Structure 1
C-alpha cells in the first residue's frame, strides 16, 4: 500500500476490502498519512485508553476501520462513531467495516450536527480528514464526492467549522488528529487552538508533487503559553519532535545538543522552502537559521549542557562565538575541515560563569583554533555522562 510503512507491524484496513462508490472519496495519500500518524502514536493511544473514538468525514471507511483494527482487543470497551454528510459514504463505510469484521455507529450528518449535546466532553479520540482543498466558496458542501475535498477560501471553510465543534466534543483528556495542507495556514490553526488551551505537534508530514500534508495532533494543556515560536509557520513546518512546545517542556534539561544547521549563504526567500533545500539554504551569510537556533539552544541547555554546531567560514563563526560569550558560553573548535568549496568548523559551546569577553579566546574569521590543540568530539562525548540529549533537525524553526 502506498505510503504506509506500518502495515507489516499492525493490522489495518486492506485496500482490496475497502468498498467504493463513484460519489465517495477513495483512500489516497492523505488517508494513508492519517493512518500512519495513528499507527506511530499507537502505544500512546493504548495508554490513553479511549472510551469513545470518533471520525468526522469517514468517506470510504478506511481510516475508522484501520483505527479499530490497530487498537484491537487492547482497546476493549471502546466505542466508535463515524459521521459523513454524504449518505453514499455511510453505506460504503458500513460495507468496508463488515468486510473487516468490525463495527461502529454510523451517522449521516454534517460534521456532528445533532450529536454535539449528546457527545459534549466525552470524545477521547477525534480523527478528521476535512475538505481542505482551496476552492470557490460555492463548491463547499455540495452533494456527492465534491464534499470530500472542497474547502473554500484557503481550504479553511469546513476546517473553521470543525474546530469549535471539536473543542466541544473533546473530553478533558481528548486528542484530535487533523489533516491539513500548507495552503490552510496550519500555523494559524495551531495558534487558534493554542488560545483555547490546546497544545499541538506534527505527527506525520508528507510532501507530494501536488501538496504538502501535515497530520497535526491537538490536546488540552492548561500550562500552555502562546509562544508562536513553538508552532508551525506557514512557509515551513516545525520538524517532528520539535514542535511539541519544546522550548517550554525541555527548558534547561538538555545536556547534549547537536546541530547541523542550514549554513549556506543564499537569498532570504530560499530559507525554509519545502524539500531538500531546507537542509542548506541559510539566507544572508548563511546565518538566518543559525540566529534562530542560538536563543533556542540557550533556553534548552542545562547548566552543564554542551552544544556542538557546524558552521562555515562565511557564517562568521567568530561573531557567533562572541555572541554566545556575551551569554556566558565559552567555545572552541573541536574539528576543522577544509574542502575546495568551503571551510567547516565544528564548534563546541558550554556554560562558563567565569568567562571574560576576550576576543583572543574565540575564533577569528580568518584563523581557527588548530585541531591538534583541542579535544575531539568523540573523546568529549565519551567523557560526558549525560541522560538528557536532543538532536535538532536541520529544519529547526
Structure 2
C-alpha cells in the first residue's frame, strides 16, 4: 500500500534542546493519517518540538495551533513551517490555548522514566524525561485533553509501553473520554534508554536481556 504523502519522513530543521523527529513521531504521524483531517479541521499539537506533527496536519489542509513551553521549539516550528511553505500558528504555552476547542489534539510528550523527582527545566533531557514512572507530563495531558476537544474530537498521544498504557486509558476514561490502544510498534532501545538501563532494571521496568521497547499510540474520543 502506498504511504500517504503526509506520513513520509521529511527532513526537519532542529537546534540543540529541540526534539529531533524519531520513531515515536512517525508512528503518531501514521495514526494521524488514519483520521479524517482536511480543510476545516482544527488541530492542536501539544509540545510541538520541531513542528513535525503540526506540519503533517497542515499538509492535509488543517488549521493548526502548535504549542510548546520551549522558546527554541516555537521558533524552530515556525522556521520549519516557512521552509516547507505551510501555515501554522506556533505559540509558547505550557499545554494548550485556554478557551479553545479542537477536532484533533496530538501529543508526543516527554515519557522516558528518569531518576529524580524534578523534571529538567533546560537542555535536551527536557524533551524526553518524564519523571520516575515517565508519566509526569503524560498525566497532565490526560487531565487537560477533554477540555481542549470539541464533541467527537479526538486525542492521539504516543508514549512508551513502560509508562503503562492501561493507566493512560483509565485516566482518560476518568476524564470522560473513550480511550483505546490505537497502534503499537517495537523499536530498539535508543541512546537515552541504553544510558539508564541499569536504573530501569533496578526499578523493574526493563527485564534482563531486553533490548527493545514498545511504543504505543493511544486514541481517545470525546462523546
TM-score over 0.5 (shorter chain): yes
Say which structure, 1 or 2, has more relative contact order (CA 8 Å, 6+ apart).
2
C-alpha change, 1:108 and 1:84, in structure 2 (3 Å) is same
- Structure 1 match to 2:143: 164
C-alpha change, 1:28 and 1:139, in structure 2 (3 Å) is farther
Mapped contact 2:143–2:171 kept (Cα < 8 A): no
- Structure 2 match to 1:360: none
CA shift at 1:83, angstroms? 0.7
- Structure 1 match to 2:217: 215
- Structure 2 match to 1:186: 165
* Structure 2 spans left out of the alignment, 5+ residues: 190-212
3-state secondary structure, aligned to 2:156: strand
> Structure 2 CA distance, aligned partners of 1:165 and 1:137?
24
Mapped contact 2:143–2:172 kept (Cα < 8 A): no
C-alpha change, 1:165 and 1:196, in structure 2 (3 Å) is closer
C-alpha change, 1:212 and 1:12, in structure 2 (3 Å) is closer
> Structure 2 CA distance, aligned partners of 1:209 and 1:65?
27
- Residue 48 (structure 2) pairs with residue 33 (structure 1): no
Mapped contact 2:13–2:76 kept (Cα < 8 A): yes
CA shift at 1:194, angstroms? 1.8
> Structure 1 CA distance, aligned partners of 2:135 and 2:21?
21
> Structure 2 CA distance, aligned partners of 1:105 and 1:28?
23
CA shift at 1:53, angstroms? 0.8
> Structure 1 CA distance, aligned partners of 2:8 and 2:89?
17
The structure with more radius of gyration = 1
> Structure 1 CA distance, aligned partners of 2:158 and 2:16?
23
What is the TM-score normalised by the length of structure 2? 0.82
CA shift at 1:149, angstroms? 0.5
Mapped contact 2:113–2:131 kept (Cα < 8 A): yes
Please list the CA deviations of residues 230-254 of structure 1 after superposition, one character each: whole Å capped at 9, or x if unmatched. Answer: xxxxxxxxxxxxxxxxxxxxxxxxx
Mapped contact 2:146–2:177 kept (Cα < 8 A): no
> Structure 2 CA distance, aligned partners of 1:174 and 1:50?
13
Which residues in structure 2 correspond to 1:293-308 (within 5 Å)? none
3-state secondary structure, aligned to 1:215: strand
- Residue 62 (structure 2) pairs with residue 60 (structure 1): no
Mapped contact 1:199–1:219 kept (Cα < 8 A): yes
Which residues in structure 2 correspond to 1:316-355 (within 5 Å)? none
- Structure 2 match to 1:101: 85
* Structure 1 spans left out of the alignment, 5+ residues: 73-77, 222-397
> Structure 1 CA distance, aligned partners of 2:148 and 2:6?
28
* RMSD (CA atoms): 2.0
3-state secondary structure, aligned to 1:23: coil
CA shift at 1:187, angstroms? 0.4
3-state secondary structure, aligned to 2:113: coil
